[in-house]
Structures are given as C-alpha cells and as structure tokens.
Amino acid sequence: MPLHKTIEPNPTTRILIWHITESFQELNQGILLKEKSRERMLGMQSEIHQRGFLSIRYLLKELGYADEDLSYDSNGKPYLRDGMHISITHSFQFAGIVVSDRAFGIDIEMQREKIKKIANKFLGEGKEFEENKDDVHRLTLIWGAKEAIYKIAPPVGLSFKNHIRIHFEEANIHKLNGKVNFKNEVTDYVLEGAEFEGFTCVYGTFAI
C-alpha cells in the first residue's frame, strides 16, 4: 500500500500522506465501514472522492484506528473517539491526516496556474497580495496554510481574505507563520509546508 510520507513534528503528532494509486474496487475490499460511512461514500458523485474517502480509512488503520473511531460534529469537523485531535485532507491522488494530542490542521492542494486568477479572493490587500500574486508555489502554500488554520477552529464568518494573514520565514518559505484577527481577538499559528509531485501540503497548529 502506498504510504507516501510520514512526518512527526513532535513526539505526540503524526502526519501520514497516502498516494492513491489503487482502484476504488481495490480500496473498497480492504476496509470495513460503518453503515453511515458507506452511505456517505456511495453518495459521492466522483470516484476520485470515493477513493480519497477510503484512503483516509487506510491512513487511520496505519495508526491503529478503524472507521468506527472517526465521527464528525455538527460543523463537519472530524474527531476521534479516544479524544485525540484529527484533521483530514485529500486532493486528486493524495490524501493525508494528522493525529495529535493538540489541535492541528492539514491541507493538500494541487499546484495549478489558475490559482493566480483567484489570488485576490483569498490574499489580503496590500503586502500579502503584492508579494505573492504571481508565484504559484507561494500562492498554493498560502492557500493551504489558510485552509489548515480554518480546519483547526472554524468560527462562523471567518474570511481568508480579511481575517487570516500568512508570513513566510525569510530563510525558508516552507516555514510559515499565521495570524488570525477576528472579532477583536488575535491568534497566532505556526505552520510548515512540503512540496511533492506537483502538490503542496501544509500543516500547522497554535503558536505556543
């Protein structure tokens, strides 16, 4: 099975990334799904989404979990029965999870030129926009970072463009800092990025 990458940012956090090369039939044979999960999967219109859904269950299995250990709250945020935090992502032929004793977010995105056309919709006005608007790699890292932050604690009304700012560390653009300024509260985040096979993965948590 194609476990593509394992990352351990700290002793209590594991990130697993799966390269989805199997067919739906191959993936479906090896995983036991609870009825609610199977109904959800079969309701997906795209087979690539179904394969991503099943790949997440294989990643859970790598960490000793089963589908029955995973649930979703009323906002669609995943959680594990044992109280560990989990974040989930999949994009085309890659899927990923992060499991930790602290809140983490993860996002995988395909690097595509068309992200330049929507840069003004998620970049903040001024410096964030002007410094990054023409660079696909930086734009994809910023988008992934904002998605990862949003997955940690998605308050109603939070805007990527207006409330979240991302800054690259000067020596390494794969190390990022995030700041959310929302409803008179400021929260800082630390994030890291990785690029592989035309995809970008960003994961992060609250700054300590």
| H-helix segments, 13-152 | 24-29, 35-42, 47-62, 119-122, 127-132, 136-152
Give the separation between CA 137 and CA 14, rounded to whole angstroms: 25
| Residue 48: Cβ-neighbour burial (10 angstroms; 0-12, 13-18, 19+) | middle
153: Cβ contacts below 8 Å, ≥ 6 apart: 103
- CATH H-level, domain 110-206: superfamily: 4'-phosphopantetheinyl transferase domain (3.90.470.20)
Look at residue 13 in the predicted model and tell me its pLDDT: 98
Give the separation between CA 97 and CA 113, rounded to whole angstroms: 26
Mean pLDDT of the region 17-29: 96
Phi, psi of 63 (to 5 degrees): -100, 10
Kindly report each contact of residues 1-9 with a partner whose C-beta sits within 8 Å and lies 24 or more positions away, as own/partner: 1/58, 3/59, 3/62, 4/94, 4/196, 5/194, 5/196, 7/194, 7/203, 9/192, 9/203
For residue 194, give both structure tokens: 């990785």
7 pLDDT exceeds 60?
Answer: yes
Q: Write out the residue limits of the CATH 3.90.470.20 domain(s) in the chain.
A: 3-102, 110-206
Mean pLDDT of the region 75-100: 97
Give the separation between CA 134 and CA 36, rounded to whole angstroms: 43
Architecture of domain 3-102: Alpha-Beta Complex (3.90)
For 59-87, write each residue's pLDDT tens digit.
999 999 999 999 999 888 999 999 999 99
| Residue 147: Cβ-neighbour burial (10 angstroms; 0-12, 13-18, 19+) | buried
Q: Which of 120, 122, 158, 162 is nearest to 141 (CA)?
A: 122
Whether residue 164 contacts residue 170, with contact meaning beta carbons closer than 8 Å, is answered with no
- Global pTM reads 0.95
For 42-65, write each residue's pLDDT tens digit.
999 999 999 999 999 999 999 999
The average confidence (pLDDT) of the chain is: 96
Amino acid at site 84: M
For 110-145, write each residue's pLDDT tens digit.
999 999 999 999 999 999 999 999 999 999 999 999
For 165-186, write each residue's pLDDT tens digit.
999 998 899 999 999 999 999 9
Q: How confident is the model at residue 1 (pLDDT cuts 50, 70, 90)?
A: low
Look at residue 142 in the predicted model and tell me its pLDDT: 98
| Distances 179 to 136, 146, 187 between C-alpha atoms, Å | 21, 10, 6
For 190-207, write each residue's pLDDT tens digit.
999 999 999 999 999 999
Residue 153 DSSP one-character state: S
